[in-house]
Structure 1
Amino acid sequence: MASPCINVCRMGDVSGLCLGCFRTLDEISGWNLATEDDKSAIFAAINRRRAEHDPCGEEFRGDCDR
């Protein structure tokens, strides 16, 4: 399974999430050793995080088209 990284590698001060892919540092650092089930769970968490935050807001880059 491909990494969700979009090369916007900057951690949010408040959220502790990457501003590009919405992963935590632990999820990022453990990605290469994660099982397919673990990766699926991370993708589910990313989708929940995107739904909770405005992707075009000041803190999160997400999938903003601006």
Structure 2
Amino acid sequence: MADNSLIADHTASPCINVCVMNADSGLCEGCWRTLDEIAAWSGATDAQKRSIWQHILQRRETR
């Protein structure tokens, strides 16, 4: 799992090469992103990447 310090480098992908989509949650079990977030990552702006990271952290805290 990614740690909070990676947000400082918001260009660092949260991918940890555990690419398994959870059918119930719609999230990758490795990086906690949705398919839309995964697909958008490479073309995302820095602000969008920071936003995705914030969503990931919120999801991890609620689980």
- In structure 1, list runs of 5 or more residues that go unmatched: 54-66
Superposed displacement of residue 2, structure 1? 1.2
Specify which of 3, 8, 14 is matched with residue 4 of structure 1: 14
Corresponding residue to 1:31 among 41, 49, 52:
41
Q: Which amino acid aligns with 1:39?
A: K
In structure 1, how many angstroms separate the alpha carbons of the residues matched to 2:36 and 2:62?
20
Deviation of the 1:13 alpha carbon: 1.1
Amino acid at match of 2:14: P
How many residue pairs match? The answer is 53
Larger Rg: 1
Q: CA RMSD in A?
A: 0.4
TM-score (norm 1): 0.79
What percent identity do the matched residue pairs reach?
55
Structure 2 unaligned blocks of 5 or more: 1-10
CA drift of 1:52 comes to 0.8
